[in-house]
Amino acid sequence: MNKKVFGSVLASVLCALVAVLFLESHFIPPREVTEEMDFIVSGSNDCLRFLNSTVSTCYIPFKTGANENWQLTINATKMPGGANGWTDVYIYKGYWDEGNNHKCTSEDLYQILSDIQSADSQIRGDTLFRETFGGPTPQSYTVFFIFPPGGQATFHVTYKKA
C-alpha cells in the first residue's frame, strides 16, 4: 500500500473515531447512578415555594435494576425549628441530574416542574424519609426537597440495596 492510500485510510479512521466520540458524548444520556450513595447536603432558604426561582433545592437522582429493591433514606441531622421544622418530599419519575453536588434552584426545574409530584411525605426534625423503590423492570427516579427556611439545614442521604 502506498503512503498516499495509507494516509487516506488513517485520516478516515481518525475522522470516524472523532465522530463516534462526539456523538457518544453529546447524544447518549449520562450514566444513571446504580451504586449505593451516602452523602451529606446542607442549605438554607427564605421560603418553601418551588415557584420562587431562587429557592435552593436538593435532588437525588437514582435508578433501580430489574427485580431489585433499593432503599432511599433522608435524615435531617440539623433542621431549623428542631422537631417542629419540616420540608415536603417530591418525586420525579425520571432521572434528572442537571444541578451541582445534589443542589439546584427551583428555576432549574421549571422544564420538568409539571411532572414532579408530591410524595405525600415530609422530612421533619424528628422524622426521617424512608422509601423502597424497585419492581420487575428498571426504573429511574429523582427525589427533591426544598431546604427549609429559618437557618442552615443538613441532611444525611443514603441509598442502598434493600
The set of residues, in sequence order, having a beta carbon less than 8 Å from that of 143 and lying 6+ positions away, is: 59, 60, 62, 72, 74, 89, 90, 91, 92, 119
**Hunting for cell 435494576 — which residue is that?**
65
CATH class of the domain defined by 37-161 = mainly beta
Distance CA 28, CA 20 (A): 11
SS (H, E, C) 21-55: HHHHHHHCCCCCCCCCEEEEEEECECCCCCCCCCC
Going residue by residue through the chain (162 aa), what tens digit of pLDDT does each one get?
566 655 554 445 444 444 444 545 445 444 444 689 999 999 999 887 767 889 999 999 999 999 999 999 999 999 999 989 999 999 999 999 999 999 999 999 999 999 999 999 999 999 999 999 999 999 999 999 999 999 999 999 999 999
Q: Coil, strand or helix: which one is 118?
A: strand
pLDDT of 72 reads 98
Distance CA 47, CA 63 (A): 30
pTM over 0.85: no
Distance CA 76, CA 155 (A): 4
The DSSP code for 67 is: T
Please name the amino acid found at residue 67.
Answer: N
